[in-house]
Chain A
Amino acid sequence: DAGITQSPRHKVTETGTPVTLRCHQTENHRYMYWYRQDPGHGLRLIHYSYGVKDTDKGEVSDGYSVSRSKTEDFLLTLESATSSQTSVYFCAISDLQGVRPDTQYFGPGTRLTVL
Chain B
Amino acid sequence: QKEVEQNSGPLSVPEGAIASLNCTYSDRGSQSFFWYRQYSGKSPELIMSIYSNGDKEDGRFTAQLNKASQYVSLLIRDSQPSDSATYLCAVYNNNDMRFGAGTRLTVKP
The yes or no answer to B97 lying at the interface (CB within 8 A) is: yes
Interface size class of B (residues with CB under 8 A): 20 to 34
CA of A41 to CA of B44, assembled, Å:
14
Q: Are B102 and A42 in contact (CB under 8 A)?
A: yes
CA of A103 to CA of B97, assembled, Å:
10
CA of A99 to CA of B67, assembled, Å:
21
25 A-B pairs, CB-CB below 8 angstroms? Answer: A1-B43, A35-B99, A42-B99, A42-B100, A43-B44, A43-B90, A44-B99, A45-B97, A56-B95, A58-B96, A59-B98, A90-B44, A100-B32, A102-B31, A102-B32, A102-B92, A103-B32, A103-B49, A104-B46, A104-B97, A106-B36, A106-B43, A106-B44, A106-B45, A108-B42
Known contacts A48-B95, A56-B95, A90-B43; A41/B32 CB under 8 A: no
The yes or no answer to B25 lying at the interface (CB within 8 A) is: no
The number of chain A residues with a CB under 8 A from chain B is 24
Secondary structure type dominating chain B contacts: strand
A104 nearest in chain B by CB position: B97
CA of A15 to CA of B57, assembled, Å:
48
B4 nearest in chain A by CB position: A42
Residues of chain B within 8 A (CB-CB) of A1 are 43
Binding site for A on B (CB under 8 A): 4, 31-32, 34, 36, 42-46, 49, 88, 90, 92, 95-102
Residues of chain A within 8 A (CB-CB) of B92 are 102
CA of A39 to CA of B97, assembled, Å:
18
Distance (whole angstroms) from the CB of B16 to the closest CB of chain A? 29
The yes or no answer to A105 lying at the interface (CB within 8 A) is: yes
CA of A107 to CA of B45, assembled, Å:
10
CA of A44 to CA of B34, assembled, Å:
15
9 smallest A-B Cβ distances: which pairs? A43-B99, A42-B101, A42-B99, A106-B43, A102-B92, A102-B32, A106-B44, A109-B43, A108-B43
Residues of chain B within 8 A (CB-CB) of A40 are 101
